Amino acid sequence: MMGLNTMKKLNSVITLLIITSSIVISQTLRIVDKWGSPGSYPTITDAVNESQPGDTIKVLSGTYTESVNVGKKLFIIAQDSTVEVVSGTNAFTFYNGSSGSLLYGFTLKGHVYHPRNFEQTEPIVIANNRFINTYVDFMNWTIIANNYFLKASLGNGINTYGSNASDKRIIVFNNTLDSCGIKLTGNHTSIIANKINNYSEYGILSYDALNDFQIIANRINNCGCGICLYGWQSKTNFTVSNNLITNCPIGLHYNYGPSLFTGVISNNIVYNSTVTAVLYHDGLWEGSSVYFYSNIFLNNTGNISFPASVWDYNCFYNSGSVPTPGIGNINADPLFVNVVNGNFQLQSSSPCINTGHPNLIYSDIDRTRNDIGIYGGSHTMSNYENLLAPKVISLFMSPTQVIKGSDIIITGSGIAK
């Protein structure tokens, strides 16, 4: 940690991207109204074609059957959720030149697509939309936030294909997915605070080679597998933390090796898995290392297993044998407040309070020792509950280590519902 003298000389630059329901960032406001009000455009495509970079397009109520191609920075906003865009393929495709664009508030019955042949200089934001039997298919610097997905034609409501830089991440934040899941492939992706329910295959699937990905504070219920780390290629520098996985036959699953695995699985809860809480198939390459700490496994059928792993300070109750090697593990009822009503906070008498990993770097946000479970550590689930105010959802520091008196730059992004 940096001392006070260092902090006095610290020049920090914090850039927050705040998404709100009242965005006033336009050069020109262009109205789309299929009913032909004076001065309006009859289609979204007409408005896009006539717009200049930086314009706002506001779409009034109605159903628009079209495929919109966006090749410039535009803020495309629906009047309300009664605005539907219907397409047999892509409702919106974002091409080179669309960096910094916003798609906000629509009901979509067609895909939202990135052709994967360009990089963004600013994030594209897909927020507060309703996707009905369709999906987002995106890569590079993107924020996908506060959307609702009902089913999906390919099973995945959200498909991400990675970004080219850790400070230009794909961030998938606070979406609700019903009867569909999230698939991530590629590097520098953060899957944070999403709610995923009722998909027979998986909640979150990471597939093929990935480096530097985060799966944090998601609530996954009644899916075939909660979090699945699949594919023959390596998965390195990953964090799977503070996720609540309930009523999934398999909680955490690694399959289709052998490959290299290096990462941390911490402060998760796996509850009521009818097959097994943690499962793997095939082998891992030499050099693999997965660290399980401060997790709770409760009422799961079958044993917990994972190769090339160490298990410290976890809580097991009615969940099979305690894995080895490891230290500080306990076999006791975690004493949740009310499991039946989905409250997985710890009662004041819980044996999981202040018994997680004792290292200071894993401390709770009140600087006490790490609690076992989803409310412990810096990624505590409480960060993402009751999202009534803007939240910082990513920070990037460069350089990561400095000598006393040197400058450091902190950039980040945040969001408000």
| In the predicted structure, residue 151 carries a pLDDT above the cut 90 | yes
Is residue 82 included in any domain, yes or no? no
pLDDT in tens, 316-328: 999 877 777 889 9
What would the mean pLDDT of 162-179 be, rounded to a whole number?
Answer: 94
| Total domains in the fold of the chain | 1
Is residue 390 included in any domain, yes or no? yes
Tell me the three-class secondary structure of the chain, residue by residue: CCCHHHHHCCCCCCCCCCCCCCCCCCCCEEEECCCCCCCCECCHHHHHHHCCCCCEEEECCEEEECCEEECCCCEEEECCCCEEEEEEEEEEEECCCCCCCEEECCEEEEEEECCCCCCCCCCEEEECCEEECCCEEECCCEEEECCEEECCCCCEEEEECCCCCCCCCEEEECCEEECCEEEECCCCEEEECCEEECCCCCCEEEECCEECEEEECCEEECCCEEEEEECCCCEEEEEEECCEEECCCEEEEECCCCECEEEEEECCEEECCCCEEEEECCCECCCCEEEEECCEEECCCCCCCCCCEEEECCEEECCCCCCCCCCCCECCCCCEEECCCCEEEECCCCCCCCCCCCCHHHCCCCCCCCCCCCCCCCCCHHHHCCCCCCEEEEEEEECCCCCCCCCCEEEEEEECC
Query: What does the pLDDT read at residue 33?
Result: 96
| In the predicted structure, residue 67 carries a pLDDT above the cut 60 | yes
Is residue 315 included in any domain, yes or no? yes
Is residue 14 included in any domain, yes or no? no
pLDDT in tens, 394-404: 555 555 556 66
Domain holding 234, by residue range, is: 106-415
pLDDT in tens, 236-266: 889 999 999 999 999 998 775 667 888 999 9
pLDDT in tens, 180-229: 999 999 899 999 999 999 999 999 999 877 889 999 999 999 999 999 98
Is residue 48 included in any domain, yes or no? no
Is residue 197 included in any domain, yes or no? yes
Query: What does the pLDDT read at residue 22?
Result: 37
Per-chain mean pLDDT for the chain: 86
Who wins on pLDDT, 11 or 355? 355
Query: What does the pLDDT read at residue 302?
Result: 77
Is residue 293 included in any domain, yes or no? yes
Residue 386's domain is classified under what CATH number? Answer: 2.160.20.10
Is residue 6 included in any domain, yes or no? no
What would the mean pLDDT of 144-172 be, rounded to a whole number?
Answer: 93
pLDDT in tens, 5-56: 322 222 322 233 333 333 444 479 999 999 999 999 999 999 999 999 999 9
Query: What does the pLDDT read at residue 408?
Result: 67
Rounded percentage of the chain residues whose pLDDT exceeds 70: 84
| In the predicted structure, residue 358 carries a pLDDT above the cut 70 | yes
